[in-house]
Amino acid sequence: MDGYAAPDFANIEEYLDSQLKKSLLRFITCGSVDDGKSTLIGRLLYESKMIFDDQLASLKNESKKFGTQGEEIDFALLVDGLAAEREQGITIDVAYRFFATERRKYIVADTPGHEQYTRNMATGASTADLAIVMIDARKGVLTQTRRHSFIVSLLGIRNVVLCINKMDLVGYDRDVFDKIEADYRAFAADFGFENIQAIPVSALAGDNIVDHSENTPWYDGPPLIEYLDTVEIASDVKDQPFRMPVQWVNRPNLDFRGFAGQILSGSLKPGDGVRALPSGKSSKVARIVTMGGDLDEAVEGQSVTLTLEDEIDVSRGDVLCADKQPAEVSDQFQATMLWMSDSAMLPGRSYVMKIGARECQMQVTEQRYRIDVNTRAHEAAKTLDLNEIGIVNIALDRDVAFDAYQDNRRMGGFIVIDRMTNETVGLGLINFALRRASNIHRQSMDIGKELRASMKGQKPVMLWFTGLSGAGKSTVANLVEKRLAAMGKHTYTLDGDNVRHGLNNDLGFTDADRVENIRRVGEVAKLMLDAGLIVLVSFISPFRAERRIVRQMVEDGEFWEVFVDVPLDVAESRDVKGLYKKARAGEIKNFTGIDSPYEAPTDPEIHIDADRLSPEAAADVVIARLEQAGLIGS
């Protein structure tokens, strides 16, 4: 095979040393179902001798059994790994493949083409330097080609190889090739790709993979492997300043305190000034420590341990930056978000964000719009479903250091984790910080909550009554408030129905609106706590996550969850407002307990068995518990 001269075994050590100096290129292959991605990767492995005789033998057996190529070897079977996939004849997940030439080692992310697996494409693209976009010469540019190219561009890949495949099936026709290339360049014009190399190939027949094909004399560009071997991959963070998130504080003894991490961008020498973010404290690098000895310089990509000249407070999650060009710090951003879960992204819900080595709590405060991945049109939408992309505003519970994703892929990307299931449910790319957070400083007040409350002779507390419609929440809350008033306490009740007539009259009953409903009520109740009041909130509030958010808004001990518990059939049989009947008839949508879930509290402060207790007895329980806790004097 040309280009793969047999190694000079006479001088194995020299040969080995040259082999140690390869560079690494990561790429992703994307295209529609049946464009031939798996066949292409199988072909690359085969041509670079990464397929061994025993694998080839088992491949020949399997080709007969599962293959789609008759007696020919079906290269796709080499890479369609899981048994389930082999039966269905499709790939269902990201697979990583490896091959090497004399010049480079390659890591290939093989991602499936179906619509529902957009998230896998994004996963593969997040670490790739280059994308191979596959097009079936018979079909040309498809909707899916557009979607894949959009995702590739969104995740910051700037090099594209357009593999126009199955040229053998269109008679190696140059006009077909030229037209597809022109179509692709036209629609990809504003994707920000720096290089697009179109190559006419047949992955199955091997045209223009290793050698120039005799079937395409009109093509004077490089064959695929030659192009991959020689394409200049400008590091995606080439001109970016020094950044290193601290993963691990290495403290084996009192004399050594090192900060370990992988350098995301830039370089560093002993003596260079660094700044720790978000704290903003500065120092100078004393040593760059590795097991092989201290380094004079460390560069992008290396995992190192740094010691500093000054004892500044740095912990896991902080980012060490070039002192003169620090990253930005904020707790509010605008970001592009791709949702990867079956349960929709809901504004107001609390999620975990991981960025660099830091985890923090995040909420989407507002979704500005959704982007149609096929047309890139902006659409009005408040939530994101699986595989949808939106532009959102995000608020965190603390400051984090970042750079815009466009400037530095490794400093501006984050993942979103569901707090209940711990699944990775979304990814985000930070566009810019929202200045609101830093410009609207909290006004500090001379008169505080404690003073206001002590003037009223009480302790502020929020009693949060949750339960099904018809459980008796408002009845019990009303009785509790009457008792408190009789004791001379200053109170206020926020009732679900009443608030929906005013403050929240723009909200409906979708999951997203329910989350926002609770967020607003939580904020209002918090202001009332601050005013020193005892606040009673009577809301169905069906989701645990939202009740937990309200709990976290206030100080420990201020939030009392009162679960007014009746079985659904009891609530439904009471049906004071006739709502269950309407819901059962389909006249009311998203009714809690019927076609929208109620998540019962797992550990409420007060659990009232409202099936057994009268409302008066229930109110007695609440008052007694508040007295026991010393929140109201008897």
Partner 1 sequence: MTTLTHLDRLEAESIHILREVAASMQNPVMMYSIGKDSSVLLHLARKAFYPGPIPFPLLHVDTTWKFKEMIAFRDALNDDPQTELLVHINQEGVEQGIGPFTHGSAVHTDVMKTQGLKQALDKYKFDAAIGGARRDEEKSRAKERIFSFRSAQHRWDPKTQRPELWSLYNARIKPGESVRVFPISNWTELDIWQYIYQENIDLVPLYFAAERPVVERDGIMVMVDDGRLPLEPGEEPMMKKVRFRTLGCYPLTGAVESSASTVTEIIEEMLRTTTSEREGRAIDKDAPASMEMKKQEGYF
Whichever of 101 and 202 has its CB closer to partner 1, that residue is 101
Q: Return the residue of 38, 48, 101, 120 that touches partner 1, per CB under 8 A.
A: 120
Enumerate residues 65-104 that contact partner 1 by CB under 8 A. 78-84, 86, 93-98, 100, 104
- Residue 116 binds partner 1, judged by CB under 8 A: no
Query: Strand pairing of 319-322 and 328-339?
Result: unpaired
Q: Where are the alpha helices (DSSP H) in 171-302?
A: 174-187, 224-230
Q: Return the residue of 286, 352, 381, 617 that touches partner 1, per CB under 8 A.
A: 352
Which segments are annotated as binding site for GTP?
31-38, 110-114, 165-168
Whichever of 147 and 409 has its CB closer to partner 1, that residue is 409
Whichever of 408 and 458 has its CB closer to partner 1, that residue is 408
Burial call 193-228: b when 16+ CB within 10 Å, e when fewer:
beebbbbbbbbbbbbbbbebbebbeebeebbbbbbb
Kindly tell me the burial class for residue 398, based on how many C-beta atoms sit within 10 Å of its own C-beta (0-12, 13-18, 19 or more): exposed
Three-state SS for 274?
A: strand
Question: Residue 59 and residue 1: Cα distance in Å, rounded?
Answer: 21
Question: Residue 150 and residue 500: Cα distance in Å, rounded?
Answer: 41
- Residue 105 binds partner 1, judged by CB under 8 A: yes
- Residue 414 binds partner 1, judged by CB under 8 A: yes
Q: How far is the CB of 172 from partner 1 (least distance, A)?
A: 32
Whichever of 105 and 551 has its CB closer to partner 1, that residue is 105
Q: How far is the CB of 370 from partner 1 (least distance, A)?
A: 20
Q: What is the DSSP letter of 75?
A: T
Q: Return the residue of 357, 503, 531, 600 that touches partner 1, per CB under 8 A.
A: 357
- Residue 222 binds partner 1, judged by CB under 8 A: no
Q: What is the DSSP letter of 241?
A: P
**541 annotated active-site:** yes
Q: What is the DSSP letter of 441?
A: P
- Residue 409 binds partner 1, judged by CB under 8 A: yes
E-strand stretches of 387-482: 389-402, 413-417, 424-433, 461-466
Q: Return the residue of 5, 71, 311, 422 that touches partner 1, per CB under 8 A.
A: 422
Q: How far is the CB of 84 from partner 1 (least distance, A)?
A: 8
Q: What is the DSSP letter of 626?
A: H
- Residue 297 binds partner 1, judged by CB under 8 A: yes
Near partner 1 by CB under 8 A, which window of 214-222, 418-426, 457-465, 485-493?
Answer: 418-426
Q: Which helix (H) or strand (E) holds 173?
A: none
CA distance to 151, 196, 237, 623, per residue, from 191 (Å): 10, 11, 18, 63
Q: How far is the CB of 467 from partner 1 (least distance, A)?
A: 27
- Residue 602 binds partner 1, judged by CB under 8 A: no
Catalytic residue among 541, 573, 596, 634: 541
How much of the chain is helix, strand and coil, in % rounded to 5?
30, 30, 40
Whichever of 23 and 443 has its CB closer to partner 1, that residue is 23
- Residue 548 binds partner 1, judged by CB under 8 A: no
Q: Return the residue of 2, 5, 52, 380 that touches partner 1, per CB under 8 A.
A: 52
Burial call 269-282: b when 16+ CB within 10 Å, e when fewer:
ebebebbbbbeeeb
Question: Residue 67 and residue 313: Cα distance in Å, rounded?
Answer: 60
- Residue 455 binds partner 1, judged by CB under 8 A: no
- Residue 248 binds partner 1, judged by CB under 8 A: yes
Q: Return the residue of 69, 195, 215, 250 that touches partner 1, per CB under 8 A.
A: 250
- Residue 410 binds partner 1, judged by CB under 8 A: yes
Q: How many residues does the chain have?
A: 634
Q: How far is the CB of 428 from partner 1 (least distance, A)?
A: 10
Name the strands in the sheet holding 95-100, side by side, starting at the edge strand that comes first in the sequence.
Answer: 95-100, 104-110, 23-30, 130-136, 159-165, 195-200
Per-residue contact track with partner 1, 1 to 40, x per CB under 8 A? ------x-x--xx--x--xxxxxx----------------
- Residue 251 binds partner 1, judged by CB under 8 A: yes
Number of residues that bind partner 1 (CB under 8 A): 81
Whichever of 119 and 166 has its CB closer to partner 1, that residue is 119
**Active site amino acids:** 541
